[in-house]
Structure 1
Amino acid sequence: MDQKSVIRLSHCDKDIYCFFVPDQCPECGVSFSGKRLEEAPVSVPSPFSNGHKEPCAFLVTSTDVLRDFDGSSDLHTGISNTSGTVYSYTRSGVQRESQGWERCVCVPLVHTHMFSLRSQWDQYLEQFSSAHTWDPASHSFDEESHNCYSFSLMFINCVLATQSKPALSKDEFTRSFVLPRIKRASKYMMLCREISQNHFYIVDSTHRDSGQGPSEDDDSKNK
């Protein structure tokens, strides 16, 4: 699905999501000219990032653009270096890619003030990726136990060890850092699909924080 900017307007006690600002309210037909400040359109931030512009990050991308983060598409994970090259593990071994990760869910791993870690990041990542563990001739790819996710998380834990910090379990990392972002991406894609099909997505206004898109409890929709 092509990336479009989602806009939210508030009117008639409704939140109206669309790709363009209509001349009149699709709910009541009143013209939007001379609208009040609280009814002004706001942009809904996209949950996606260009992974090649996100240094030192854990990245998740969808392998199927037609089912982009819809809950049924296969996901692929990787780690970016300081220049935006993404390292990921596949059946062919570790891939180093400077393109193809332009639409990702991003989990930043290094704060900007962590100069020492950032200066060693590329060396850590290259050494880790060159280990026999990720050589297909030595260890076969396994969808359950030896895959792109285990590659990424094991690297993160190796870095944590150099910082004398405890390792993260798969469940802990997924629950705390990955799942909330995946859920937001999935909701955003649902929102885009609804707008593409029906021009608008309309829900009862609940005075949500701007930019978060529809909540899990939104169940009224205008088609």
Structure 2
Amino acid sequence: MQPGRAIIQFRHCGKDVYCFRVPDLCPACHGPLSFRNLDEAPISIATPLVHGHQQQCVFLLRPTLGTFLRDYDGNADLHVGITNTHGIVYNYNEQGVQRDEVGWEQSISIPLLQPNMFGLMDQWDKYLEEFSATDDWSPSRYEEHRHNCYTYALTFINYILTAEGKHQLDKDEFTEKFVVPRTRRASKYITLYRAIEEGGFYVIDRLDSDTNLL
């Protein structure tokens, strides 16, 4: 299971064309492809999904059931977790804290550390393990709507922020600032990805084109 291929976008005959590889002929007009300027030339749009087990010290989201590319419909429940420095995903469910080494290969990632925060990264695994070992995250404490995977992840984030002397985030603030922009972009990518998989390409009139399609 992979995070998905990059999508190629180019402009031709008044259309925006999206595909996985540049064809010999334009899918819209069936004529030979030629690009008059850089504005029309193919560009690669990277997938917003990542292999979660290759990420260090990040907040991850994935569908509770299935994968983003195959199963996600925009309304399905999401499961969240925090990676340690080895890509093991700590997450909380009705069985307590899980330490997953597989299963997060298609995830949305939100980095939690700045690149220069080496001191905190050195202590990250220790903090995450100690935090996860407390009684707060025992199986008996789990409640689907009030004490769940999101509560676990956000409480750990605030635990780190407090240790660093920084402002804590409530659920609404963290969701709106960090989660919503990434899930919105991922939803657009998934819709486009499926359309290309089904038809080989996706074409839209430039006059009607949403410049924020991805």
TM-score w.r.t. length of structure 2: 0.90
Q: After superposition, where does 1:122-133 map in structure 2 within 5 Å?
A: 122-133=125-136
2:100 equivalent in structure 1: 97
Q: After superposition, where does 1:179-194 map in structure 2 within 5 Å?
A: 179-194=180-195
1:52 equivalent in structure 2: 53
| Letter of the 1:116 counterpart | G
- In the TM superposition, structure 1's runs of 4+ consecutive aligned residues that sit over 6 Å from their partners are 206-209
1:17 equivalent in structure 2: 18
Cα deviations across residues 110-140 of structure 1 (Å, max 9, x unaligned)? 1121111111111110011000011114x1x
Question: What SS class does the counterpart of residue 139 from structure 2 fall into?
Answer: coil
Partner Cα distance (1:61, 1:26) in 2: 33
Q: After superposition, where does 1:109-148 map in structure 2 within 5 Å?
A: 109-137=112-140, 139=141, 141-148=142-149
Cα deviations across residues 35-67 of structure 1 (Å, max 9, x unaligned)? 334333221110011111110100001222232
- The unaligned stretches of length 5 or more in structure 2 are none
Partner Cα distance (1:180, 1:35) in 2: 32
**What is the aligned residue count?**
208
Q: CA deviation at 1:148?
A: 0.5
| Letter of the 1:60 counterpart | L
Q: CA deviation at 1:16?
A: 0.4
Q: CA deviation at 1:95?
A: 0.3
Does 2:68 correspond to 1:83? no
Q: CA deviation at 1:166?
A: 1.5
Partner Cα distance (2:171, 2:13) in 1: 45
Cα deviations across residues 73-117 of structure 1 (Å, max 9, x unaligned)? 221100001111110001100000111111110000011211111
State, as a whole percentage, how many aligned pairs show the same letter. Answer: 45
CA contact 1:64–1:74 (8 Å) conserved in 2: no
CA contact 2:47–2:189 (8 Å) conserved in 1: yes
CA contact 1:64–1:73 (8 Å) conserved in 2: no
Question: What SS class does the counterpart of residue 31 from structure 2 fall into?
Answer: coil
Partner Cα distance (1:208, 1:118) in 2: 40
- The unaligned stretches of length 5 or more in structure 1 are 216-223
Q: CA deviation at 1:208?
A: 7.6
CA contact 1:53–1:84 (8 Å) conserved in 2: yes
2:66 equivalent in structure 1: 64
| Letter of the 2:168 counterpart | A
| Letter of the 1:64 counterpart | G
1:220 equivalent in structure 2: none
Partner Cα distance (1:128, 1:121) in 2: 10
CA contact 2:14–2:205 (8 Å) conserved in 1: yes
Question: What SS class does the counterpart of residue 91 from structure 2 fall into?
Answer: strand
Cα deviations across residues 8-53 of structure 1 (Å, max 9, x unaligned)? 1111222100122222112222201x53343332211100111111
Partner Cα distance (2:139, 2:100) in 1: 18
Partner Cα distance (1:143, 1:35) in 2: 53
